[in-house]
Structure 1
Amino acid sequence: MSLSAVVKKEVHQSARSYSVAGIAFFFFLFAVFLAAIHWVPVPSRNAPVEQSRLVLLNSMRQSGVFFVPLLGLGIGYDAIAGERERGSLKLLLGLPNTRRDAVLGKFVGRTLVVGGVVVACYTVVWAVTVLSYGTLDFATFGLYTLLTVCNGAVYVAVPLGFSAGMKSRQRALVGAIGLYALFMLGWDALLLGLQLVLYGAQPPHGGLPDWFQLIGVFNPSTAFMFAARAVIPAYHDLTIYPHSDAPFLQDWVGFVVLLVWVVVPLVLGYRRFEKMDIE
């Protein structure tokens, strides 16, 4: 079995998952609902951008922020640990495939499934906005969809790294959920706590220092926001983040951070997996 065969196997297996179908269903409902009611956050309603573009971006953004990480978590945490527990991992590695083939094949295959869900969902959202406003904003739709698929790759890589490096699904799931909670909720709480310790309740005159803001960008959710702003100027009107002239706080840095969050978990998970006894 070649790497491409592993990818094909993972696509078929993941696409039939009930958990993936359930998350995708609610992802679809929420995104289409926001597009159908033409919802735009109050602070952004007076932005000098076409209403149709704001509705399209916000519908994709609000739904993707929550459901894409959740989809990646649900599809990635048992990729290898689950097969180890079921005893099918020995079969996969004996066909012959290397452990590198297994990790890369599972990553690519499951990322393709996440990408397929994103494309299908966002296509309907785009169709709803086209019917509502009569504008074919294909550039915004295409760029944001592609970025969201890349963001989905991050949230496949992180739990997959845990799955490769842990001996049980439970441990992989705990590790993946812990990072998910950190990205979604804990990161801002940690930054607030650090601000209170260093500066008190009120930030210093002139704003927080650049190094402090850089810690925030290390969160892949914030990095995704930076990357989106780098290629879609209208996205600035949906996000609030202090502007800085520091080279390491420019929008393009978001792409670097996202790439790091894909590569590092996979490499660390693979290196640990390579040394493990699969018995």
Structure 2
Amino acid sequence: MTTYTLFRREITDLRRSRLLVALVGCFAALLAVAALAYPPDDPVDLTSLLGGELNGLAVPTVGILLGAFALVDEVETGRLGVLLGVPVTRRDVFVGTVLGRAVVLVGAVAVGFLVAGAVLWVRPTALDPVALARVACATAGLGLAFLGIAVGWSAFAADRMRALGASFAALLSFGAPWELFVVAPASLLARGSVQLSSSLEPAIATDPAWYSLLYWGSPTNAFRAAISVSEPVVWMPVTVLVFWTVVPATVGYWRFRSRDIA
């Protein structure tokens, strides 16, 4: 049994999940409704709607549901012990499982935006296809970031509910608590005052780089910056999304490699 075999098994199992199919269907339906309901004459606002608060909550939730059970489920159900009884390593299990779930997540986002794109193609609109693709890529990046965070918790948690709870706690902490306890004090140091939440977003021309890094250190803030079609691509938020995808999962692999399966 190889990494590829485990990868295919993971995708096959997830395709049979009624919960996942329902989530993908709801996501695609919500994007379609958003594309139909919003006035088509403003491409910036329409793109912001397709990649706004809806995706900022729905896609991380899907990423967490996929990632939180990825590793702890193998241990709790005893499948890891069975797999290790055949010529397979923990690295094979980790890579096959996580990569399979990541591909399923990206596929779900792609389906949702293809549906939205089809609606916008039928309905005359000023939306730029390149802008829509940019929002789709950023949305996938946001989902992968929370998938990576959830995988990290899945490797450390004693059971599935703890992994799920810790992952959703991380999602909540990157919202208002991040702005209150991280961004607001940073604004006081960088600007000499704490402004309204809507004014905390960094101004690249005037704010120091460390302030921008702290603000965009939240995956949700990085996502909002990445979908801003009125501005050129800012690579720091993209780097933040990659960081949250790779680093927690890597730490999770380090823990999973030596985890007791008894």
- Are residue 106 (structure 1) and residue 89 (structure 2) matched? no
C-alpha contact 1:35 1:59 (8 A) present in aligned 2: yes
- Residue equivalent to 2:221: 222
Q: Structure 2: any 5+ residue segments left out of the alignment? A: 197-202
- What is the alpha-carbon distance in structure 2 between the residues aligned to residue 220 and residue 142 of structure 1? 19
User: Structure 1: how far apart are the matches of 2:183 and 2:47?
Assistant: 31
User: For the structure 1 residues 136 and 36, does the alpha-carbon distance in structure 2 shift closer, same or farther, using more than 3 Å as the test?
Assistant: closer
Q: Tell me the distance in 2 between the aligned counterparts of 1:37 and 1:164.
A: 42
Deviations 1:115-158 (A, max 9, x none): 11111111111111222215684322333323322332212111
Question: How do 1:59-208 residues align onto structure 2 when only pairs under 5 Å count?
Answer: 59-133=50-124, 137-191=128-182, 194=185, 202=195
Where does residue 32 of structure 1 map in the other structure? 32
Decide whether the 8 Å contact of 2:68 with 2:154 is kept in 1. Answer: yes
Deviation (angstroms), 1:113: 0.9
The structural deviation recorded for 1:171 is 2.1
Deviation string 1:29-80 (CA, Å, 9 cap, x unpaired) is 322221111158xxxxxxxxx6246424522434321111000011111111
**Partner amino acid for 1:29?**
A
Seen in structure 2, the aligned counterparts of structure 1 residues 235 and 108 have a Cα distance that, compared at 3 Å, is farther
Distance 1:215 1:221 in 2: 12
Tell me which residue corresponds to 1:9: 9
Divergent runs of 4+, >4 A: 195-203, 206-210
Q: Which runs of 5+ in 1 are unaligned?
A: 41-49, 238-249
In structure 2, the partner of 1:46 is none
Does the residue aligned with 2:148 lie in a helix, a strand or coil? helix
* Equivalent-residue separation in structure 2 for 1:196 and 1:265 (angstroms): 27
In 1, the alpha carbon distance for the partners of 2:225 and 2:188 equals: 27
Task: In structure 2, give the amino acid aligned to 1:75.
Answer: L
Alpha-carbon shift at residue 257 of structure 1 (Å):
1.4
* Change over 3 Å in CA distance of 1:55–1:82 after alignment to 2: same
Q: Contact 2:142–2:223 at 8 Å: present in 1 too?
A: yes
Query: For residue 21 of structure 2, what is the aligned residue in structure 1?
Result: 21
Task: Measure, in 1, the Cα distance between the counterparts of 2:23 and 2:89.
Answer: 32
CA 264–34 in structure 1, closer or farther in 2 if over 3 Å, else same: same
Matches within 5 A, 1:246-257: 251-257=234-240
Cα deviation code 1:157-216 (max 9, x no counterpart): 11111112223112212221111111234212324663698656558xx98755334211
* 1:275 pairs with 2:258: yes
Task: Give TM-score, length-normalised by structure 2.
Answer: 0.83
TM-score by length of 1: 0.79
Q: Kindly report the root-mean-square deviation, in angstroms, between the aligned alpha carbons of the 2 structures.
A: 2.8
How far apart, in 2, do the equivalents of 1:216 and 1:195 lie? Answer: 8
Match for residue 248 of structure 2? 265
Percent of paired sites with the same residue = 27
Cα contact 1:53–1:137 (8 A) shared by 2: no
- Letter of the structure 1 residue corresponding to residue 223 of structure 2: F
CA shift at 1:114, angstroms?
Answer: 0.9
Superimposed CA distance per residue, residues 78-103 of structure 1 (whole angstroms, 9 cap, x where no aligned partner): 11111211111212233322111212
Alpha-carbon distance between aligned partners in 2 of 1:136 and 1:192, rounded to the nearest angstrom: 33
